[in-house]
Structure 1
Amino acid sequence: MTSNVIFQHRQRFQRVFVRSFFGLFTEYETPKLVVIHSLSLTILLRLMQAILLIYSILYLLLYEKGYQKQDTSIVSSVTLKVKGIGYIHTAQNGTLIIDVADYIIPPSENNAIFIMSSYGQTDQIRSKCSESSLLKEAECDNDNECQNKPFSPRANGRWTGRCILPSDGQISNDTLSKTKSSKGLCEYAGWCPPENDEASPALINEVLNFTIFIKNFIEFPVFAVKHKNMVDDLKPCVFHANLSKDCPIFTLDYIVNQAEKDAEERDLMLRLGGVISVKLDWDCDLDRGIKLCKPEYTFARLDVPFREKPFSRGFNFRYAFHWKSTYENHRTLTKAYGLRLIIAVSGKAGKFDSITLSLNTGSLVGIFGLATFFCDIILLHLSKKSRTYRKHVFETVLSRTRLNSVFQRPPDLTQIDIKEKSTILETTTSRTDLVNAMYENNTKSLRKTSSTRPLTLTNSEKMKVHPEEE
């Protein structure tokens, strides 16, 4: 019994699948226009059409410039120049002047620049001395501990295996530093004395008054247009948001204030360094002219704020200056703190294009049809009379011959009422009688037309049939 049911379901599924598959090639669908008088639905339709029309015209066509061909493949070149004189106060109540060649390290970079705002220096000689007291791995009580300890990546040189105790003082000429720790420190061979990371760096004064000249040359290859961020008659100026918008010269104070709003954070950035992004965004309307195209400057801080206590704070690096004196190697180790500016250029250009306008107009027409689509969903599926509306909207037309319409398969009488059964039976009987009558009439007519008569030939025909008998 179960196998028969499964077989019937399988057969039914196959019939439905075959009917649906062949329906793709034998059924044609065409929209049917149905006029429905509904005040609420009409108001909803017109309201949605008005909203879509306003959105399409004001935003997509005008604001987004849907009538223009866009080019975002911008080619850019940036050159940075810094001017300004800084100074620091020395321990001997003197003043040390620092100019551009001192605080721009390295002299040239690609789309970036580093401005040193503070630094620390250590004069060193290649020799032997005790390790830094900040390195806990270097603490020792005897020479054996220095010989058996593994190498530390934080070491300032190669350990010799000797432990320098505090009681030894300045042991020999080769040991130039003296530890104040209660324990001894391992001796190393390298650059002495070791750098003191706990010392506060010297802050360069007047750093915020330095000026940065940003020269930017761009090209939009699709339109073969070149431009720059400088006016033709550029004069000495400083950028101001209201007074000098076209000036490409910025003070470092303005850049830092735009990138960081907290005064305490700005002070720490000058002392410990930081990273700032400088972005130039071009939005050019070539229909108005290339000379009216101006970049928009934005500044943002990229490094982690100090208030979040990051693992590595600020931005710094070390570099050394070497020389020789009396056959001894000397160097000045400088740990530089400062602001690293990274330049990013982006942009787009647009120009009227009829093909782009026609394509976008076609897309807007499709968007405009969303109003009818949503109203159809409400009408055919969510309204109270959805079943009635579906009967009028969806109609199936079968292409049949007259004979097929006569021999139409009678419906299943088990699914309808008794009155309807009698009506259908009478209709079916009358159709059967009609067919039988048509068949009998056709048979009688065929019999009448097929009656036999004797064949009579004329004399001329006989002569044509038997000419040799003459």
Structure 2
Amino acid sequence: MYSTVKEVKVRSTFVAVLHRLLQFLILIFVAFYIILIKKGYQQFQEPQGSSIIKIKGVARISVHNSNLHTDNSSQALWDAADYVIPSIETNAFFIATRKTITYGQRQGICPSSLNDKLFCNSTYNPCKRGMPIPNAFEDQKCFPAYTFDLLQSGDDKLSPGVNFRFVEKYRLNETDYRTTTKMYGLRFVLTIAGHGGRFDIRRLFLAIGSGIGYMIIAELVSEFIFMRFHRHREEFRRNKIKSCLQISASNVY
């Protein structure tokens, strides 16, 4: 069965006004919302890039315990080289609020390392080729127990913010030393977002074409109301829908 569209003109003020009103609302929707508000006439592109933040300024800090030392000797000034570590980051920057410095650290020898029986050397070598190495303790009587605790949470007051350590190594009198610094502070992470657009005639025609397609909604709603609720709906159905008998090829011109 093949169906085709049949045009029926109906003299009904109510349906005609309803149809024009729906068309007007759709036209307003397309013109103001799709084209103007949503900028349907533009071609958009998301930007890509990164930012590098440069911090400047000085800050007055308290040395040792400011509650006990309030004279000028307990005060110091930090500039950007002191409180911005590292000096340059991509899409982030760190501002130090406190630091703990440990001077004069050097590497030594643990007392346990003096025991030759803990290592294989030329005089003591219990390691045999092709044999497993025995454990350092008897595990038959030693059963390890494991417990896990969360050390930091969102409301941790003991170690808030971000903290990390770094060292500065130097050599003095044939001895290697290091200075360990632990930094406390705030780390800011930046996210770049943008929305750039320009006029595109193709996008404009697509927006207008979609608006013309929306016009079919007005016809469908008007026809549905006329066929279901109008007092002359039966007559409209008879004229709108008509079944034809099978037409032979000789009757088709």
Q: Are the structure 2 counterparts of residues 50 and 33 from structure 1 closer, same or farther at C-alpha, using a change threshold of 3 Å?
A: same
Tell me if 1:379 matches 2:226: yes
What amino acid is aligned across from residue 12 of structure 2 in structure 1? S
CA apart distance, 1:30: 2.6
Q: Deviations 1:145-197 (Å, cap 9, x if unpaired)?
A: xx99768899xxxxxxxxxxxxxxxxxxxxxxxxxxxxxxxxxxxxxxxxxx9
Q: Percent identity?
A: 21
Q: Are the structure 2 counterparts of residues 346 and 310 from structure 1 closer, same or farther at C-alpha, using a change threshold of 3 Å?
A: farther
Number of the residue aligned with 1:54: 28
Query: In 2, distance between residues paired with 1:104 and 1:396?
Result: 84
Normalized against structure 1, the TM-score is what? 0.38
**2:191 corresponds to which of 343, 346, 351:** 343
Normalized against structure 2, the TM-score is what? 0.65
Q: Deviations 1:201-229 (Å, cap 9, x if unpaired)?
A: xxxxxxxxxxxxxxxxxxxxxxxxxxxxx
Query: In 1, distance between residues paired with 2:44 and 2:160?
Result: 38
**2:44 corresponds to which of 71, 83, 87:** 71
What amino acid is aligned across from residue 334 of structure 1 in structure 2? K
Q: Please tell me whether the aligned partners of residues 52 and 88 of structure 2 are also in contact (alpha carbons under 8 angstroms).
A: no
Number of the residue aligned with 1:320: 166
Number of the residue aligned with 1:396: 243
Query: In 2, distance between residues paired with 1:102 and 1:148?
Result: 49
Q: Deviations 1:44-99 (Å, cap 9, x if unpaired)?
A: 2222221111111122222333233x131434342321111112022353222111
Q: Are the structure 2 counterparts of residues 59 and 314 from structure 1 closer, same or farther at C-alpha, using a change threshold of 3 Å?
A: farther
Q: Are the structure 2 counterparts of residues 369 and 311 from structure 1 closer, same or farther at C-alpha, using a change threshold of 3 Å?
A: farther
What amino acid is aligned across from residue 346 of structure 1 in structure 2? G
What amino acid is aligned across from residue 371 of structure 1 in structure 2? A
Larger radius of gyration: 1
CA apart distance, 1:369: 2.2
Query: In 1, distance between residues paired with 2:222 and 2:157?
Result: 59
Number of the residue aligned with 1:167: none
Q: Deviations 1:99-157 (Å, cap 9, x if unpaired)?
A: 111222222222222222x12415274678xxxxxxxxxxxxxxxxxx99768899xxx
Q: Normalized per residue, which structure has more helix?
A: 1
Query: In 2, distance between residues paired with 1:390 and 1:312?
Result: 81
CA apart distance, 1:385: 4.6
Q: Which has the higher contact order (CA 8 A, sep 6+)?
A: 2
Number of the residue aligned with 1:286: none
Q: Please tell me whether the aligned partners of residues 87 and 95 of structure 1 are also in contact (alpha carbons under 8 angstroms).
A: yes
What amino acid is aligned across from residue 318 of structure 1 in structure 2? F
Tell me if 1:123 matches 2:89: no
Query: Equivalences for 1:6-85 in 2 at 5 Å?
Result: 23=1, 27=2, 29-68=3-42, 70-85=43-58
Count residues in correspondence: 205
Q: Deviations 1:341-376 (Å, cap 9, x if unpaired)?
A: 3131322221242x3322222211111221111122
Q: Please tell me whether the aligned partners of residues 319 and 335 of structure 1 are also in contact (alpha carbons under 8 angstroms).
A: yes
**2:90 corresponds to which of 83, 107, 110:** 110
Q: Are the structure 2 counterparts of residues 123 and 313 from structure 1 closer, same or farther at C-alpha, using a change threshold of 3 Å?
A: closer
Query: Equivalences for 1:457-468 in 2 at 5 Å?
Result: none
Q: Over aligned residues, Cα RMSD in angstroms?
A: 3.7
Q: Are the structure 2 counterparts of residues 312 and 349 from structure 1 closer, same or farther at C-alpha, using a change threshold of 3 Å?
A: farther
Q: Are the structure 2 counterparts of residues 114 and 385 from structure 1 closer, same or farther at C-alpha, using a change threshold of 3 Å?
A: farther
**1:360 corresponds to which of 174, 186, 207:** 207
Query: In 2, distance between residues paired with 1:81 and 1:43?
Result: 65
CA apart distance, 1:43: 2.6
- Unpaired runs of 5+ residues, structure 1, are 1-22, 129-146, 155-196, 198-303, 402-470
Farther-moved stretch of structure 1 (343-352 vs 360-369) = 343-352
CA apart distance, 1:31: 1.8
Q: Normalized per residue, which structure has more strand?
A: 1
Q: Deviations 1:369-414 (Å, cap 9, x if unpaired)?
A: 211111222222344554432221111223445xxxxxxxxxxxxx
Q: Deviations 1:407-432 (Å, cap 9, x if unpaired)?
A: xxxxxxxxxxxxxxxxxxxxxxxxxx
- Unpaired runs of 5+ residues, structure 2, are 111-141, 249-253
